[in-house]
Structure 1
Amino acid sequence: MGYARTALLLAAMTGLFLAVGWLIAGQQGLVIAFVVAAAMNAFTYWNADRMVLSMYGAREVGPNEAPRLHGIVARLADNAGLPMPRVYIVDSAQPNAFATGRNPDHAAVAATTGLLRLLSEEEIAGVMAHELAHVRNRDTLTMTVTATIAGAIGMLANFAFFFGGSSNDERNNPLGPIAGILVALLAPVAAALVQFAISRSREYEADRMGAEICGRPLWLASALNKLSQGAEAIENRGAEANPATAHLFIVNPLHGRAMDGLFTTHPRMENRIERLRRMAVEMGQAGPWN
């Protein structure tokens, strides 16, 4: 999808947030929404990585504690021209992984214990390359900001539902009492659609770049196949308790996932694997997974 469309969608998300503020309280609401959005994004910029890692009980590991994982990440970071990120392990039976951090100099990658048990070294390399692609593209910041704004829109929508129709003053509510109901119903849906569109596009791009970083698209394709099956069979309690973070993972950690449509944070797995297979053919690597 490219950076231009991602930037456009982020602008649309921000514009939607400001529009909701205006619909609730006119010019004053627009200003307040702008101030709130700036404050929330500033807080997210500096604190999101610590919040996410703490949320999942991730523990940082060094080369002595996790030599295989640490060594894989170090080699891939060198291939990608990135600073060495902090490496974490999450105690979860569901095989999965995510990256976080505001920029490549303050990045972290995390793998679950389930992933380390299930995947081969080559498949782990494919997954970690995907996560480093997110770091290089600064998707970790983009997706965190998107989730923050989407959550704020939901908060404003609830406010509009309860208080939007309480005043007939056009300066406070430009579209009248009906506006509160419309905002409450439509704004969260619109925000979710934009958030999911951004998330899906960044996953496709991270697959492509991750395959380039590790040099073997089929390593990542094989890993995705195993991770998808594992995520369907094993619950991720942390993600179920915090569904707003689902888009951070390499595969959707939530149960009850839908098909590849409007309301899903990740592209359909068959589509991702097929793209990687085509990429392998183009690189002259067609054949078995490994």
Structure 2
Amino acid sequence: MLNNTLRTFVLLAALTVLFIIVGDLIGGKSGATLALVIALFMNLSAYWFSDKLALAMSGARPVSEHEDPELHALVAKLARKAGLPKPRVYIIPAETPNAFATGRNPQNAAVAVTAGIRRLLTREELEGVLAHELAHIKNRDILISSIAAVIAGAISYLAYMGQWTLFFGGLGEDDEDRSHPLGLLAALVAIILAPIAASLIQLAISRSREYLADATGARICRCPLSLARALEKLEAWNRQLPLNVNPAQAQMFIVNPLSGETLMRLFSTHPPIEDRIAKLIEMAERERF
């Protein structure tokens, strides 16, 4: 767990350094500030309404205790173990088995599972999945992903601004360093490569938080092997029957809902399932739950 927490901190620091460098090369202080303000406004709005947006986009509907008492009982039990208030419970009317958690904080959190996951998994496997989702809430992953999105978004806005500035006659004529040919070349390289680098770092943060949620969830339910078995089943089903979701939503789910497509590891929102399963098996052997 400590390694993944440290990795997240290092990646966020790298993203911040990249923003500072790109801001200086392309927009200077004023341009960097403008890009950060725009990204901050857009992403914080999405963060504040994250639960409503995610649930609406996935087609999830609230499920009452009367409709699914077992699901509610599992969520309540695991929330108590995690030291969290019980989140709202939703069902997604889709046969592809998957699940996600959302909400800006534990008091406004929600857990959503597909209809398919209720039919596929055993009680113990479902408990592992729900524990993983509660771990995302406990670890404040929505907040961390929002911070990463703000910085990465600001870098993309800077690059976009730089393109138009170059198009309309140059970059930084009022700055001797940036009007120098080498300065212009550096800015051009930053315009092309910085958004790609920012996206790669943002995706690496997403993968790191998945590893951490696996470890935290395994400790909440005290059965890493149940989560490992669930991940194996979910991956197999999502390869055969990918979930029809917006690609921007993919990182929310416990396994990549678009895994029917071939994705390079660097450009994936999730770590390889085989690596996640191996870490859970190692954890079970090491800690003897």
TM-score if structure 2 supplies the norm length? 0.87
Which deviates the most, 269-278 or 16-25? 16-25
For the 8 Å contact 2:43–2:149, the answer to whether it is kept is no
Map Cα deviations across residues 88-142 of structure 1 (whole Å, 9 max, x no partner): 1112222111111111111111111121121111111100000111111101221
Which deviates the most, 49-58 or 27-36? 27-36
SS of match in other structure, 1:266: coil
Q: Write the distance in 1 (CA, Å) between the matches of 2:256 and 2:274.
A: 13
For the 8 Å contact 2:65–2:72, the answer to whether it is kept is yes
For the 8 Å contact 1:92–1:113, the answer to whether it is kept is yes
SS of match in other structure, 1:111: strand
CA-CA distance at 1:258 after TM superposition? 3.0
Partner of 2:198: 191
Q: Write the distance in 2 (CA, Å) between the matches of 1:3 and 1:279.
A: 17
CA-CA distance at 1:174 after TM superposition? 2.4
Of the candidates 243, 249, 262, which is equivalent to residue 245 of structure 1? 249
Which residue identity is paired with 1:243?
P
Are positions 1:215 and 2:222 aligned together? yes
> CA RMSD of the aligned region, Å?
2.3
Partner of 1:288: none
Map Cα deviations across residues 141-196 of structure 1 (whole Å, 9 max, x no partner): 21233235434433443343343343334337926554554233211211122112
For the 8 Å contact 2:102–2:142, the answer to whether it is kept is yes
Of the candidates 208, 212, 217, which is equivalent to residue 205 of structure 1? 212
> After superposition, where does 1:1-290 map in structure 2 within 5 Å?
1-168=3-170, 169-171=172-174, 174=178, 177-179=184-186, 181-238=188-245, 242-254=246-258, 255-258=260-263, 261-284=265-288
Inter-CA distance 234–152: structure 2 relative to 1 (3 Å threshold): farther
Inter-CA distance 92–18: structure 2 relative to 1 (3 Å threshold): farther
Which residue identity is paired with 2:81?
N
Which residue identity is paired with 1:88?
Y
Identity rate of aligned residues, in percent?
50
Map Cα deviations across residues 36-87 of structure 1 (whole Å, 9 max, x no partner): 2432343233122221111111112221122221111111001111110111
Which structure 2 residue ranges, 5 or more long, are not aligned? none
Which residue identity is paired with 1:269?
I
TM-score if structure 1 supplies the norm length? 0.87
For the 8 Å contact 1:163–1:180, the answer to whether it is kept is no
Q: Write the distance in 1 (CA, Å) between the matches of 2:236 and 2:285.
A: 24
